[in-house]
Amino acid sequence: MAAIVSVKNLRKTYDTGFEALKSVNLDIEEGEILALLGPNGAGKTTLISTICGITVPTSGTVSVGGFDTVLEYRQARSLIGLVPQEINLEPFETVQNTVAFSRGLFGKPRDDAKVAAILKSLSLDDKAKSKVKELSGGMKRRVLIAKALAHEPRVLFLDEPTAGVDVELRRDMWNVVADLKATGVTIILTTHYIEEAEAIADRVGVISKGQILLVQDKAELMSQMGKKQLRVDLAERATTIPSSLSDYDLALEKDGTVLVYTYDTRHERTGIRRLLNEMNDAGLVMTDLQTQQSSLEDIFVGLVKDDA
Ligand SMILES: Nc1ncnc2c1ncn2[C@@H]1O[C@H](COP(=O)(O)OP(=O)(O)OP(=O)(O)O)[C@@H](O)[C@H]1O
């Protein structure tokens, strides 16, 4: 698949001297959902607003649909829809006008049918004539998305779309995002919530302290999640792993006093019983054992901690 957004060596240092982005490189494929995960202050909003051309980069380039976001701002910006973190709607305006007005801002001709279709796709058709202030929080979030889609962008950025919303509304938003993807829109969302990335992303990027630490296919990350470890305390320190145990994914830790066996929980047989027998045959005496599961959360926390 071709990259619709290409970020090259992007740096952003704010006037305060704070380096919010440190040479970020990222390609976003057309039609994918990419979730950018990161702790508070990691630089997620800075990255999104720089890609969208709202924040000017200190150096580096961003292209969207082949257009440079600084040199060809208008063309690039017309391909982008941005759903901000904060609800920034005009309370006394109707839903329909809010969306139609936003379309006009991008120089698109008036098209009532198009606006109606966008509202319908977000189940807002029966609210078209309602004033924004009359809507529930969930409906307002849908209006924000409708507004961002008004000029028919090809790439939609959602900055923390479910921050502070209840579980039901979060799931509702996930369905909205999945429906949008089905229409061919490329979606980039930032989130604090690991389960959100798990639920909807095709790829997951982890950002910390202004750097992208990893961008990986979610299924691959999930397969790492499926890994479990058995940690066996040994009665005596071992210097090498006996060759009779070479079929197992084993490592020695804690100066040879702990043998760690990594296995895939999705396999029907873990091989633990056989391993313990074979360890016994090889003369390795165990004094205790524990198992631990690595999760996306562990991977994420580990990455962010290593970066500290
Ligand atoms: N206009 C600004 N001037 C100076 N520093 C800024 C500015 N905007 C953001 N920062 C700093 O840059 C860092 C990254 O902020 P950013 O909002 O991009 O992070 P984030 O990952 O989106 O965080 P959150 O999840 O809390 O929204 C933070 O330390 C923030 O204080």
One domain for residues 99 and 179:
yes
CA 19 / ligand 1 centre spacing (Å): 10
Rounded to whole angstroms, how far apart are CA atoms 217 and 21? 23
**pLDDT value, residue 194:** 80
Strands (E) across 102-249 are located at: 155-159, 186-191, 203-208, 211-217, 227-234
Same domain, 193 and 237: no
**What's the predicted TM-score (pTM) here?**
0.79
Position 307 in a domain: no
Pocket test for ligand 1, best of 22, 24, 44 (most atoms within 8 A of CB): 44
Overall number of domains in the chain: 2
Tell me: do 261 and 214 sit in the same domain.
Answer: no
Report pLDDT for 295: 65
Whether 234 is covered by a domain: the verdict is yes
Residue 173 is predicted with a pLDDT of 85
Block mean pLDDT (10 aa), the chain, length 308: 89 95 95 92 92 92 94 93 89 95 90 93 92 92 93 93 82 88 93 85 92 89 76 94 92 94 79 92 93 72 66
pLDDT score of 16:
95
Ligand 1, atom 5, residue with closest C-alpha: 14
> Is position 212 within any domain?
yes
Asked if 216 and 204 count as a contact pair (C-beta separation under 8 A), the reply is yes
pLDDT value at residue 193: 82
Domain-terminating residue out of 200, 223, 246: 223
Looking at residue 222, what is its pLDDT?
Answer: 73
Closest CA to 230 of 295, 293, 149: 293
- Assigned domain for 276 exists: yes
Q: Is the CB of 38 under 6 A from ligand 1?
A: yes
Structure tokens at 227: 């890994």
User: Atom 9 of ligand 1 has which residue's CA nearest to it?
Assistant: 46
Give the domain-ending residue among 223, 246, 266: 223
* 66 and 172 belong to one structural domain: yes
**pLDDT at res. 195:** 83
Measured from the CA of 207, which atom of ligand 1 is nearest?
21
Domain hosting 269: range is 227-293
Residue 205 has what pLDDT?
A: 93
Other C-beta atoms closer than 10 Å to the C-beta of 293 total 11
Is the same domain home to 198 and 76?
yes
Give yes or no: residues 137 and 241 share one domain. Answer: no
Task: Tell me whether residue 152 is in a domain.
Answer: yes
- Same domain (yes/no): 47, 194: yes
Question: What CATH number is given to the structural domain containing 50?
Answer: 3.40.50.300
Give the CA distances from residue 161 to residues 108, 135, 141, 184, 197, in Å, rounded to whole numbers and listed in that order.
26, 17, 8, 19, 12
Looking at ligand 1, which atom is closest to the CA of residue 55?
1
